[in-house]
Structure 1
Amino acid sequence: MKIFPSTGVLGAEIFDADVTEESSFLDIFEAFVEYGVIAIRDQHITPEEQIRFAKRFGKININRFFASHPQHPEIAMLVKEPHQRVAIGEGWHTDHSYDEIPCRCSILHTIETPQTGGDTGFSSMSAAFAALSDSMKNFLRARYAQHSSRHVFGYSADDHESHKDGRIGNPELATQDVIHPVVIKHPLSGRECLFVNREFTTHIEGLHEDESKCILQFLYSHASDIAFTCR
């Protein structure tokens, strides 16, 4: 197995690994913990093999909004055809932050991509937090924020293209509002991380609306700086 870091703060490419082999998993898992985002190249796997690989990370959180694989509900389908204007998840977000227990990770298996584009940007929320001043860190450590699925997957979003064409559904299940710390300690690496995102965070508890918006917009802009990202 060969591992090549993508940037100084986030991401790595892995070559000569086989996700179907249980003996490879420990090295893959350690790389995931160290680099945050890993791209495991040249994998030709079946849906069943992807599910088995995912289960090695923990219990699978079945997405209740995305259209699923016809034979495997554990697999959510991320589809964008040429005639569709909007790609699912285009904005900066943290998957399932609206859940009381957010997911440990997401596993994407690319089936078909365009010749250009189609990639995904990722941000190191630990590096972004580490770059803040000590005063801002201490302020944020004492704060909590609300996350919600209602405005993204609920009835108020029914006019969005992805809802109309069936890529997203079940708006009646978008009832979650949950409170999470603004700063969390990553359960695997132990690093402190910002835990807010543009898509699902609605406000910071205990602040006036304009104060909350101002701080959140600063954090979103800060965390998406190229210094903290990879793609």
Structure 2
Amino acid sequence: MQVVDIAPAIGARISGMRIDRLGPDEFGKIMQVLLDRHVVCIDGREALNPDAHLSFARRLGTIAEYPFGKPLNGYPGIFRIVKERDSTSNFGGVWHTDSPYHAIPPAYTVLCGVDIPHHGGDTLVANMCAAYDALPADMKERIASLDGIFTASKVHGSGTPRFSIGDVQRIDNRSRADQTYIHPIVRTHPSTGRNGLYVSACHMTGIVGMSVLESDQLIKQLSQQIVDTRFVGRVRWTRGLLVVIDNRCVQHYALNDYHGQRREIHRVLVSDGIAPSRARQREASHAISH
């Protein structure tokens, strides 16, 4: 097993093992690298078949639902992320963390490269713990007890979506999309104890207790902090590459720079059953001031 960091602040690429034949010791080593580096990229010669993909994901936790897209036929846990050659928009082409619009958001995203462009199509990843660590003390104090209002409505809601999602097969689930969930914008990682920002601008409508203007300004400021180049790495896709992203502390962004080429990634979301939390819990108001 060889491990090479992909960037100073985040990510590691692992080679020298068969994903479909991992013993307990090898899997434990992968999990330790994931905790340390937040994103792991495991080399594979060919794309995993769906059964092997799901089998690996289940070792991380419980397969989580994705209520807005049709799954791969016969495999309800696998969602196909596709951009066809003649398309202009892609899925995930904005900085975000996956599906924070749940009471318990998925802890992990497990991606497998199926059809990869000859050039372009990389995924950027950003370390939200490192971004938090670098904040000045007064900002940390300001945001310590704040809660964000998370929803899928900007992408999948009853209004006009603000973000395109490419050539995926949608499920019209607007009543579900318009629901809102309250999570702390500084969350404590349940395995490492590290604090990190928990912000996903395309899935947020505000911050509890703040005006819309104040919320938008703070979300923008924190989002810019997260994607500072000091905290960002790049996943370079190859066919068969398996990528595990820790959604509890990572944002990611699928680059749309491969026009005229096809790209297909298979995605599985995994829950650890633990809701976002911070060291000191408080009862969250569900109202936003105007």
Question: Normalization by structure 2: what TM-score?
Answer: 0.75
The verdict on how the C-alpha distance between 1:209 and 1:154 changes in structure 2, with shifts beyond 3 A counting, is closer
1:154 shift after superposition: 2.0
Match for residue 129 of structure 1 among 132, 136, 139 = 132
Deviations 1:148-189 (A, max 9, x none): 0122112324697648x6522223332320000010011122
Distance 1:160 1:91, change over 3 A: closer
- Does residue 1:114 correspond to 2:117, yes or no? yes
Structure 2 unaligned regions, length at least 5: 235-290
- Which residue of structure 2 aligns with residue 221 of structure 1? 224
Matched ranges for 1:13-52 at <5 A: 13-23=13-23, 24-44=26-46, 45-52=48-55
- For the structure 1 residues 36 and 43, does the alpha-carbon distance in structure 2 shift closer, same or farther, using more than 3 Å as the test? farther
Deviation at 1:209, TM superposition (A): 1.5
Query: Could you say what secondary structure the match of 1:214 adopts?
Result: helix
Change in 2 beyond 3 A, CA 1:103/1:162:
closer
What is the rounded CA distance, in whole Å, between the counterparts of 2:161 and 2:188 in structure 1? Answer: 35
Verify: 1:169 aligned to 2:171, yes or no: yes
Selected match of 1:85 from 84, 88, 95? 88
Q: Is the 1:19–1:25 contact (alpha carbons within 8 Å) kept by the matching residues of 2? A: no
SS, match of residue 140 in structure 2 = helix
> 8 Å contact 1:150–1:174 — kept in the other structure?
yes
Choose 199-208 or 154-163, whichever is displaced more.
154-163
Deviation at 1:62, TM superposition (A): 2.1
Q: State how far apart, in whole Å, the 1-side matches of 2:172 and 2:198 are.
A: 26
Residue of structure 2 equivalent to 1:66: 69
Q: State the Cα deviation string for residues 185-213 of structure 1 (Å, max 9, x = none).
A: 11122211100112102111111211111
Change (3 A) 1:166 1:34: closer
Counterpart CA distance in 1 for 2:163 and 2:32 is 39
CA-CA distance at 1:57 after TM superposition: 0.4
Structure 1 residue ranges without an equivalent (≥5): none
User: Could you tell me how far apart the structure 2 residues matched to 1:20 and 1:157 are?
Assistant: 42
1:49-97 per-residue CA deviation (whole Å, 9 max, x = no partner) reads 0000000000010211123111101001100001111111100111011
Amino acid aligned to 1:74: G
Amino acid across the alignment from 1:104: A
Q: Offset of 1:221 from its aligned partner? A: 1.1
C-alpha separation in 2, matches of 1:120 and 1:160: 17
Equivalent pair of 1:18/1:43 in contact (CA under 8 Å) = no
Please name the residue that 1:203 is paired with. 206
> Which letter maps to 1:38?
V
> What is the CA–CA distance in structure 2 between the aligned matches of 1:189 and 1:157, rounded to whole Å?
39
- 2:241 alignment partner in structure 1: none
2:78 is aligned to: 75
Q: 2:142 aligns with which of 133, 139, 142?
A: 139
Larger relative contact order, structure 1 or 2 (CA cutoff 8 Å, min sep 6)? 2
Hey, what does 2:286 align to over in structure 1? none
* Match among 176, 184, 187 for residue 184 of structure 1: 187
Map of 2:248 onto structure 1: none
- Residues in 2 aligned to 1:40 and 1:12: alpha-carbon distance in whole angstroms: 9
